[in-house]
Chain A
Amino acid sequence: MFLIKLSLKNLLRHKKRTIITAAIIAWAIFFYVTFDSFLLGMNDMVFQNIIDYEYGHVQVANQTYWNEKDELPLENLILNNQSINQSLTKIEGYQSHASQLNFQVRLNDGVNETPVIGRGINSNQTLSVLDYEQYLEEGEFFKPGEYKVVLGKRLTEVMNLSLGDYVTLLTRTESDTFNTIDAEIGGIINTPNPSINQNVVFVPLDIAQSALNIDNRVSHYIVKLNNKNFNSNIINSFQSTLNDQNNNLNVYSWRDLDEVSITKSKQAGNTMILLIVLTIAAIGIINIVILAALERMEEIGMMKALGLKENEIIFTFVAESTGIGILGGIFGIILGAVSVYFFSNFGLDFSMFIDIDMSTFGIPIVSKIYGVWNPWTFVYMFFFAIFGSMLASILPARWAAKKDPVDAIYRR
């Protein structure tokens, strides 16, 4: 108890030094907590964007197609029949579903040409799964059989197109012959998902199937369930149903998507960077313990002369560093809580600081980023600060405690 009291008093010996070291720890915690909150917020938004504007909760596709889906192949498509459509409605938590056909397109306005993704859809079905309707800025979605397309706003800006303009979609059929679709721009959408806004041209499904000469086949189905956090057993159960039908189809959760994995990898990378920041704080602790030990060498000698054991001397230094860790931890989580409260309520619009499009970095977010509360980060960081400070001080404290008493007393 007395040694704890001594350690606490030692904390006040060099107040400025204690405050600066605690401030480094507090800053590291504040930075980590705030960044973690943003990462979680960004992840949530990315996942929600992917679900709401691209993939729905569940996708059903041929396994071979799925593996090659980024190349937009016209092989291994699914015959859009009654049986599969009925099966989809039996997934637990089912709300709606839609079939889609993705294909390669070169969008031509008569002057310029750009490669984009053609997406054949049934408007009614797709709007029941994906949240496009409220982001339709001009015009409307097409009806089956209409030679109309819907483009993202960014794409119309790049191509300098307006509602009512005519465009030509150059594509290749399944047998690799060229074909075109001439269509009027019937609608312009501006969703929070930048990849939809700049890379996709929506075409009536029947028009696309006809132009590609693929009969009534589609790339995949997207399904909306009543809850994003559905149990993975639902997927397994539906996969069994599909296996029984022997149609070589697989079920994919939104969690399986490459974009989700990439986002998680980015988060892991960012966590590494943040751990480096915390390592700097640990170096601060090591530094302060070494400084304190050098300053108090005669005291250490006196303590050893009094008969204090090495472990007791180590304890006084470790307890002092732990005190700094507690101080830094408390200030850090208070600052972090203020920061997360602010950003979770008001968000952060990066365009305020720099004219930056987050999609440039592969992040499908165009609006503000909001922080997300993660209480475990606070708990974990608080204890990390305490245990980190404690652990960082052990080696230099051992070095000090192992000093020969005579050398310490006479500062040799």
Chain B
Amino acid sequence: MKLLSLKNVSKIYNQGKIEVPALRGVNLEIDTGEFTTVFGPSGSGKTTLLNIIGCLDKPTDGIIKFDGNNIADLDKSELAAIRRKNIGFVFQSYNLIPVLTAYENVEFAVKIVDHLTKKEIRERVLKMLSLVGLEGLEDRKPNELSGGQKQRVAIARALVKEPKLVLADEPSANLDSKTSEDVLEIMLKMNKELNTTFLFSTHDPLVMDYAQRKIEIKDGLISKDERREKVDVFN
């Protein structure tokens, strides 16, 4: 089932009098439950593509359909409403709130979305923290967690509201290879268990090995789009 489609999407940044094209007519379709990576050299347009798909930025031209609705022409508050309900984000530098505990950081994301009861919120947050392997660390603040643990909290925060799409911008950039593997395994596990669609940008070949689908982007255009039948990292 098609979750996302981009038709001829372009993005031009104006830097003073100079126009810098970041995307030059990208066409892309992503189905529900895909685990996709976007890779390419720095400045190729990966982050711009993720920002536009994530409703953080608007394209200069083109059509973007999210869950069947064209979102290219929506205003800021309508885009915020889509992000709130349907999209989770995992950032390279985690972007956790330092004054909140791991539990509260995850709780924050679900509290702004659903009108669930306290008990339901608690159950959902604890379940999510347990799924990412942070059982027992709920009360720790970000400065009491390792880089990998912080990224797990960020993953739990992205998934707790049960979004249709999770976008991760270089999720392993600040992690060592062992921790990166752990984090990717967790993301893949979530993808399988919750059927959540994952789209992440990376430079890291290890990350690419985990992806079912690899999209290479060069100079603002998709230059390669490969699919693999099955990725099994749990054996």
Contact = CB atoms under 8 A, between A and B. Distances in A.
A13 interface: yes
The 4 A-B residue pairs with the shortest CB-CB distance in the complex, in nearest-first order: A307-B84, A302-B95, A9-B99, A307-B83
B99 A12 contact: yes
Interface string A292-333: 000000110110111111101000000000000000000000
A307 B80 contact: yes
Contacts of A406: 51, 56-57
B74 to A, nearest CB: 13
A407 B87 CA distance: 19
B109 interface: yes
6 contacts: A2-B112, A305-B56, A305-B83, A312-B112, A406-B57, A409-B91
B75 to A, nearest CB: 12
A409 B54 CA distance: 13
B80 A304 contact: yes
B85 interface: yes
A304 to B, nearest CB: 7
Interface of B: 47, 51, 54, 56-57, 76-77, 80-85, 87, 89, 91, 93, 95, 97-100, 107-109, 111-113, 157
Contact of B98 (A13, A304, A308, A410): A13
Nearest to B98: A13
B217 to A, nearest CB: 17
A29 B136 CA distance: 46
A404 B84 CA distance: 16
B93 A298 contact: yes
B70 to A, nearest CB: 19
Contacts of A13: 98-99
A257 interface: no
A58 to B, nearest CB: 65
A10 interface: yes
A13 B51 CA distance: 30
Given A6-B97, A12-B99, 11 more contacts: A9-B99, A299-B97, A302-B91, A302-B97, A304-B83, A306-B112, A306-B157, A307-B81, A308-B80, A308-B84, A409-B95
Interface string A67-80: 00000000000000
Contacts of B108: 2, 6, 306
Contacts of B83: 304-307
Contacts of B100: 6, 9
A408 to B, nearest CB: 10
A13 to B, nearest CB: 5
A134 to B, nearest CB: 66
Contacts, number: 67
A280 to B, nearest CB: 28
The A contact surface, by secondary structure, is helix
B160 to A, nearest CB: 11
B163 to A, nearest CB: 10
A302 B112 contact: no
A9 B99 CA distance: 6
A144 interface: no
A405 interface: yes
A320 to B, nearest CB: 11
Interface in A385-411: 404-406, 409-410
A72 B108 CA distance: 79
Nearest to B107: A2
Contacts of A304: 56, 80, 83
A6 B109 CA distance: 13
Contacts of A299: 95, 97
Contact of B84 (A10, A306, A310): A306
Contacts of A306: 83-84, 89, 108-109, 112, 157
A406 B167 CA distance: 14
Nearest to A9: B99
A1 to B, nearest CB: 8
Contacts of B82: 307
Contacts of A312: 112
A298 B91 CA distance: 10
B199 to A, nearest CB: 14
B51 A298 contact: no
Contacts of B113: 307
Given A306-B109, A406-B57, A6 B95 contact: no
Contacts of A307: 80-85, 87, 112-113
A410 B201 CA distance: 15
Given A13-B99, A306-B89, A307-B113, A405 B56 contact: yes
A182 to B, nearest CB: 87
A12 B108 CA distance: 18
